[in-house]
Amino acid sequence: MKTKFSTGLVALAAASALALSGCGSSERGAEAGGEGGESAAAGFEDGAKIGVALPQKTSENWVLAESLFNDGLTEAGYEPIVQFANGGVSEQQNQIQAMIQQGVEVLVVGAIDGSQLGSQLKAAKDQGIPVIAYDRLLENTDAVDVYEAFDNFKVGQLQGQALLEGLADRKGEGPYNVELIAGSPDDANSTPFFEGAMDVLQPKIDDGTLVVKSGQTSQQQASTQGWEAENAQNRMDTILSGSYKDAELHGVLSPNDTLARAALTSAKQAGKDVPVITGQDSEVESVKSIMAGVQYSTIYKDTRELVEATIGAVDAYKAGEEPEVTDTESYDNGVKVVPANLLEPVIVTEDNAAEVYAGDPNLEELTK
């Protein structure tokens, strides 16, 4: 059963409220009224500036999102300000503050660390600027209006399902030796990915069908700081040398394609074959690997669809309306339950890749 995702009580560093002046959105914030300003939009004119704060370029989907936001917002009649924060959290904080000062009417945030933007998001709320959490939940703040994302708990469930189906297909009957990889602990998505997967896998660990020989079965033990491939590979190197000298490794739960390839590299260097490994993001190299029968699965989350939905939310705020949401119960960010508009992820294996990627200009040719 899907559970609420509470981020817990993460202490934010004390910071004084930003004194922002002369912003085009300040008048709208005053119109909205209410305590500390309300972020429900009162509508705004054509040509408005829209701020899009993206994290580091850690995956192909983030790079694609940049061009899609620039093109899509421009075509919709807005002036986009789209920036990556490759320098880390402090850079993203500064970028968001600058966007507010430049008078953006809506702020879209794909956070590096969703718990470290409290002061900046409060400043946006005080100016009456609606805040959209893009792909990653913004935590420990009431200054977020809607969460636009794929259903991340379901992503995890699909990954767990793929691992079990792949093991049965490629190895026959169990028990199976498997290892678990989780995402970065500062990314709010890592928890629903891991919890969704364990919703499927934990019963099989409990009954002995799956054996995690390293004993590392918690999200904390399996985490990969920064989603860095090097960190996942180093951890797998240690696990393989310590727990698999005289044992086979049958499968790996990986939360994304980058870490899946890191695990495969580690196994290859150790002289091990990994018959089944999961992934996510449908990165080009991993799709090629799936078609070659190496990586077993990935998850397709069409970035075009997510950016389109997010621009749709911007359009709603422009009209003075609330965006469409599909879930008003599941995403507790530690301060409020954030209304979410969840899109459906799709599991991809060699068997259905051609069908799933049909029409995708970046992936369709890889399946022929």
Map the chain to HEC letters. CCCCCCCCCCCCCCCCCCCCCCCCCHHHHHHHCCCCCCCCCCCCCCCCEEEEEECCCCCHHHHHHHHHHHHHHHHCCCEEEEEECCCCHHHHHHHHHHHHHCCCCEEEECCCCCCCCHHHHHHHHHCCCCEEEECCCCCCCCCCCEEEEECHHHHHHHHHHHHHHHHHHHHCCCCEEEEECCCCCCCCCHHHHHHHHHHHHHHHHHCCCEECCCCCCCHHHHCCHHHCHHHHHHHHHHHHHHHCCCCCCCEEECCCHHHHHHHHHHHHHCCCCCCEECCCCCCHHHHHHHHCCCCCCEEECCHHHHHHHHHHHHHHHHCCCCCCCCECCCCECCCCECCEEEECCEEECCCCHHHHHCCCCCCHHHHC
How sure is the predictor about 261, in pLDDT bands with cuts at 50, 70 and 90? very high
Using omega within 30 degrees of 0 as the cis cutoff, is the peptide bond preceding 345 cis? Answer: no
User: What are the structural domains, with CATH classification, of the chain?
Assistant: 26-144+302-344 (3.40.50.2300), 152-300+350-356+362-367 (3.40.50.2300)
pLDDT tens digits, one per residue of 78-116: 999 999 999 999 999 999 999 999 999 999 999 999 999
pLDDT at position 190 over 60: yes
Q: For residue 362, what pLDDT band results from cuts at 50, 70 and 90?
A: confident
| pLDDT higher than threshold 60 for residue 22 | no
* pLDDT for the residue numbered 363: 94
CB 148 within 8 Å of CB 324: no
- The pLDDT tens digits of the residues spanning 290-300 come to 999 999 999 99
- Across 303-316, average pLDDT: 97
Q: Does position 32 have pLDDT exceeding 90, yes or no?
A: no
51-61: average pLDDT: 89
pLDDT band at 1 (very low <50, low <70, confident <90, very high): very low
Least Cα distance to 83 among 55, 111, 102, 122 occurs for 55
Q: Is the pLDDT of residue 353 over 80?
A: yes
Of 160 and 41, more confident: 160
The tens digit of pLDDT for each residue in 141-171 reads: 999 999 999 999 999 999 999 999 999 999 9
pLDDT tens-place string over residues 196-248: 999 999 999 999 999 999 999 999 999 999 999 999 999 999 999 999 999 99
Given this model, what pLDDT does residue 188 score?
86
